[in-house]
Structure 1
Amino acid sequence: MLLSAAAAASLLLPGVRAWGAMGHETVAYVATDFVAARTRDYFQDLLADTSADYLAAVASWADPYGHTEAGKFSSGFHYIDAQDSPPSSCGVDLARDCGEGGCITNRLLDADLESSERQMAAKVCTIALRIYLMVIHFLGDIGQPLHNENLEEGGNGIPVEYSGDETNLHHVWDSEIPESVSGGSSMLSARSWAASLTTGAYLFPFGPKRVHTIKSGIYESQAAGWVNELSLTDAQNIALGWATESNAYVCSTVFVGGVSAVEDQDLSGDYTTTAQPVVSLQMAKQGYRLAKWLDAIASAV
């Protein structure tokens, strides 16, 4: 489905953002550091943005678009409702968990699309049952464990506190925990966190003091495995693997003590400390995967 000029204007509308805008921007900035030069040129031209922010600037666009009349078809495409039984059993099954509305589709590879239409497609890659193509936003979404879980609407229905403020479990994983690592919610926070995940460099002194990086240490040795056998022609199975991987954290970390261990509890202490390494790993992983996925797209067009 293509966007009209009116729908394109909805880019400015506010909306709920998975991972928080800062989280999505972090994934995009990580990807920016790993895409091939040809990919960078292709997407900068496609998005009419030659700045270093060309991916981060559109990373959250799919969220407000899903709240518009034109984009409401995509509102359910940000997640998959795994109907498993955490914390005793976690797992994703497409036939069981992906409804008639689907989970991912893509128009980026359609050679008949005009440049303006490709630009819109790059900003909102929709999700359908048969094609899992995560580009920019949705590839970030799939890294959030609770975007791969049905229990209490992915934690949205579980009231918790964070530093004394009332919120819900999903929001804590979207925003509070990532921001506890990055030191803030701004694009500058995202850029700094991405730099720390990539090289260990810091743009300002509020970020984590010690991290693994994709260019050194444990992440470096793992990175090749994050994109093992990546192929545009096998998008559904690749996405299913990534969703299953994220969903596993629902049992091992999100609900490790069951719902009662988090419901109505303040999660700003030990719970956050335990979750931080998982969130950092998922940001690094999905950013690197996004880079390689965009490389594959740029090579195919």
Structure 2
Amino acid sequence: MSNRFPFSKSWIFLTVVFTIFGSDAWAWGEEGHSIVAEIAQRRLTQNAAQAITQILRANPNSTPYSTPSLASISTWADEVRYNGPKPNETYNWHFVDIPRQDTHYDPATECPKEKPEQGDCVINELSRLRNELRCTAGDQQLRALKFAVHFVGDIHQPFHTVWENIGGNGITFTTDKLQFKGKTCSADKCSTPPDNLHKMWDTTLIRAMEYNWPTFVDDLEAGWLTTDAAKNDNKDDPVAWAEDAHNAAIAFNVWVDAGATLDQAYYDRVTPLISQQLGFAGIRLARYLNDVFSSSQCPYTPRQ
């Protein structure tokens, strides 16, 4: 299965500067990744919290009053995907290409190593990072933490688990009087609409639900994170995370064909899925980090 085609770095920079919307390189956007990281930080064990504090304060120039934050490092992985205009070995670690008609992940075809200079996929990298987090030190360990925080978020974004149209980046659409925070939005009102479906999910829908990301976290803490789905979740395998995100996208009918019009019914249908996926990502990231830092035994071996 072919991997996604990278956008030019200059195009990404201009998009970030001149619009409020993210691109494929800014999955979930700053808000989404910050939400996931903050949910996780509130659920760290004492061992994990102490280990992470030490990793984030490894810089001797850190101010003594600073509070290390997972949210503060949650988008770093997007900033290092390119060497100049070319994608590097971390590029493909942000997604996995599962065709829409498939319900299960096939590593042979959906996480190939055809282009080692661009990496394989997010599933493999999350598995490797467990050992790097526990068994390395210094800059390598800090780098692993930054990647882990980001990639757990990425794998829960449904369009990072869909192969077609570069994960929805190739799907353009129009909007029809969407009610964003009580305002009627169309192509010429409220804000510049995103120009593809992937971007719509990365940032626009999250900001439509709640513009301030800390408030979004509080809403989830009082809402979705109190549900049985959240309380009873025990999935810790990145394969299961990817398959669940992929299949949820199908179940919630989030995909549209090019040229479709997104209306209020679409917004109302998909926003519960966004809350679910951000919530799952946060609690699973916490368990991922808590597990890694529960022992110092190296190399890391999964618990049976």
| Residues 55 and 112 (structure 1), Cα distance of their counterparts in 2 relative to 1, 3 Å cut | closer
Could you tell me which amino acid in structure 1 is paired with residue 214 of structure 2? R
Q: Does the aligned pair in 1 maintain the 2:173–2:196 contact within 8 Å?
A: yes
Cα displacement string for residues 36-95 of structure 1 (whole angstroms, at most 9, x for unaligned residues)? 12211211110127755610001111011112359711111111111243xxx5443222
Q: Does the aligned pair in 1 maintain the 2:34–2:213 contact within 8 Å?
A: yes
Could you tell me which amino acid in structure 2 is paired with residue 174 of structure 1? D
Structural mapping, 1:245-256, within 5 Å: 245-255=244-254
Could you tell me which amino acid in structure 1 is paired with residue 156 of structure 2? G
| Residues 284 and 26 (structure 1), Cα distance of their counterparts in 2 relative to 1, 3 Å cut | same
The structural deviation recorded for 1:107 is 4.5
Q: What is the alpha-carbon distance in structure 2 between the residues aligned to residue 286 and residue 29 of structure 1?
A: 11
Q: Does the aligned pair in 2 maintain the 1:67–1:75 contact within 8 Å?
A: yes
Counterpart of 1:34? 43
The structural deviation recorded for 1:157 is 0.5
1:22 to 9, 18, 31: 31
| Residues 290 and 176 (structure 1), Cα distance of their counterparts in 2 relative to 1, 3 Å cut | same
Tell me the TM-score normalized by structure 2: 0.72
Counterpart of 1:93? 106
Could you tell me which amino acid in structure 1 is paired with residue 151 of structure 2? F
Could you tell me which amino acid in structure 2 is paired with residue 67 of structure 1? Y
Counterpart of 2:52? 43
Counterpart of 2:273? 278
The structural deviation recorded for 1:222 is 2.2
Counterpart of 1:109? 131
Q: Does the aligned pair in 2 maintain the 1:155–1:169 contact within 8 Å?
A: yes
Counterpart of 2:6? none
Instruction: Percent identity, please.
Output: 24
Q: What is the alpha-carbon distance in structure 2 between the residues aligned to residue 121 and residue 112 of structure 1?
A: 10
Tell me the TM-score normalized by structure 1: 0.73
Structure 1 stretches (4+) deviating beyond 4 angstroms? Answer: 49-53
The structural deviation recorded for 1:112 is 5.7
Q: What is the alpha-carbon distance in structure 2 between the residues aligned to residue 150 and residue 249 of structure 1?
A: 15
Cα displacement string for residues 112-163 of structure 1 (whole angstroms, at most 9, x for unaligned residues)? 6332321122112xxxxxxxxxx21000011111100011111110101343
Q: What is the alpha-carbon distance in structure 2 between the residues aligned to residue 144 and residue 112 of structure 1?
A: 28
The structural deviation recorded for 1:264 is 2.2
Could you tell me which amino acid in structure 2 is paired with residue 296 of structure 1? D
SS at match of 1:270: helix
Q: Do structure 1's residue 72 and structure 2's residue 88 form an aligned pair?
A: yes
Q: What is the alpha-carbon distance in structure 1 between the residues aligned to residue 197 and residue 272 of structure 2?
A: 17
| Residues 147 and 107 (structure 1), Cα distance of their counterparts in 2 relative to 1, 3 Å cut | closer
Counterpart of 2:78? 63
The structural deviation recorded for 1:248 is 0.6
SS at match of 1:283: helix
Corresponding pairs, count: 243
Q: What is the alpha-carbon distance in structure 2 between the residues aligned to residue 71 and residue 300 of structure 1?
A: 35
Counterpart of 1:209? none
Could you tell me which amino acid in structure 1 is paired with residue 234 of structure 2? V
Could you tell me which amino acid in structure 2 is paired with residue 109 of structure 1? N
SS at match of 1:226: coil
Counterpart of 1:6? none
Counterpart of 1:244? 243
| Residues 112 and 178 (structure 1), Cα distance of their counterparts in 2 relative to 1, 3 Å cut | closer
The unaligned stretches of length 5 or more in structure 2 are 1-12, 17-22, 114-118, 176-185, 188-192, 297-304
Q: What is the alpha-carbon distance in structure 2 between the residues aligned to residue 156 and residue 254 of structure 1?
A: 17
Computed over aligned residues only, the root mean square deviation of the Cα atoms, in angstroms, reads: 2.5
Counterpart of 1:173? 201
1:155 to 161, 168, 182: 168
SS at match of 2:26: coil
| Residues 143 and 157 (structure 1), Cα distance of their counterparts in 2 relative to 1, 3 Å cut | same
| Residues 107 and 166 (structure 1), Cα distance of their counterparts in 2 relative to 1, 3 Å cut | closer
Could you tell me which amino acid in structure 1 is paired with residue 205 of structure 2? I
Q: Do structure 1's residue 138 and structure 2's residue 151 form an aligned pair?
A: yes
Counterpart of 2:220? 197
SS at match of 1:170: helix
Q: What is the alpha-carbon distance in structure 2 between the residues aligned to residue 57 and residue 251 of structure 1?
A: 32
| Residues 20 and 112 (structure 1), Cα distance of their counterparts in 2 relative to 1, 3 Å cut | closer
Could you tell me which amino acid in structure 1 is paired with residue 142 of structure 2? Q
